Structure 1
Amino acid sequence: MSITTTTHLNFTGAARAALEFYAEVFGGEVSIATYAQFGTPAELPGASNVVFGRVDAPNGFRVLAYDTPGQPGQGLAGTAGETRREQGSTVTSASFFLAASGESLDEVTGYWEALSAGATVIEPLAASAWSPGFGMLRDRFGVTWVLDVAVAA
């Protein structure tokens, strides 16, 4: 028996842009269905927003996202919390981070450089005690990412 989990991000009007961005960063295809496609009259506000969206990449990356109904604005729905480094520790009020591991430093560096566009770097990508590459950032959509190079078990 096996189980697969997939992160599902809730946005307030930015789901399409976020999904397209993540597809550029990690590769893969974007699939989007809008509220209008599910019966919301096209003339109503938010009808073109994402009711179901996903990115599926050949490398295994997958994320789901949608725009919460009736919520104007951009970025994550609700509060994404705050995360910072302080005296060698990560201090956060965020309820989650998204973690992505790659097989090599070159691979992870590519993801890092792409995700860094418009991001706030919390901890720069560098060697750590447990990985040849580890870093943390909050992307332009308010999602906090932890990227690292996977170490063989």
Structure 2
Amino acid sequence: MSPPPELPRDDRVALDFHRSVFGGRITVATDDDAHNVTDPAESDQMMYGEILSDNGFRVMVYDVPSHTAWDPGAIPVFVSARGVDAEEIAGYWGELAAGATILMPLAPAQWTPLYGMLRDRFGVTGVLDVEIAWEG
């Protein structure tokens, strides 16, 4: 398995892509907006970015400043999208899978009617599944 591609310094393209999949609205605050500029070349980086979908799904992101160590292999990040409707999850999967590396195809699993894992074209690993009631 090859390492994931580096995320672009400006994650706004990835943020907009995920908004197109999950819907909702984007909120962004740059380092300049927050009066937190440590390097003038990075003043337009996202200090805070968020997608809030109409159904409550939330993704939060930020640009890693150059003075901060970042190794995506050492601290992996997963986005988990869980829903109660298989059709909804399959729809998200179809959009996220375009240009993605499929790590585990979306299919029935022992614990759920649908489960899949992929690394999207921005290097974000996504886990999608259908929620079921746990009996315990």
Task: Please say whether Structure 1 and Structure 2 have the same fold, judged by a TM-score greater than 0.5.
Answer: yes
Please give the alpha-carbon distance, in whole angstroms, between the structure 2 residues aligned to 1:46 and 1:114: 31
Query: Is 1:32 paired with 2:28?
Result: yes
Unmatched tracts of structure 1, length 5 or more: 1-10, 72-76, 82-92
What's the secondary structure of 1:22's corresponding residue? helix
Structure 1 pair 65–133 and aligned structure 2 pair: CA distance change class (3 A): same
1:34–1:47 Cα contact (<8 Å) kept: yes
| Matching of residues 133-144 of structure 1 within 5 Å | 133-144=114-125
Normalised by the size of structure 2, how large is the TM-score? 0.79
What's the secondary structure of 1:141's corresponding residue? coil
Q: In the TM superposition, what is the alpha-carbon distance from 1:78 to its structure 2 partner?
A: 2.5
Unmatched tracts of structure 2, length 5 or more: 1-6
Deviations 1:6-34 (A, max 9, x none): xxxxx661321222111111111000111
2:117–2:127 Cα contact (<8 Å) kept: yes
Query: Is 1:56 paired with 2:56?
Result: no
2:64–2:70 Cα contact (<8 Å) kept: no
Query: Is 1:67 paired with 2:59?
Result: no
Please give the alpha-carbon distance, in whole angstroms, between the structure 1 residues aligned to 2:13 and 2:20: 11
Normalised by the size of structure 1, how large is the TM-score? 0.71
Query: Is 1:128 paired with 2:128?
Result: no
Please give the alpha-carbon distance, in whole angstroms, between the structure 1 residues aligned to 2:124 and 2:88: 20
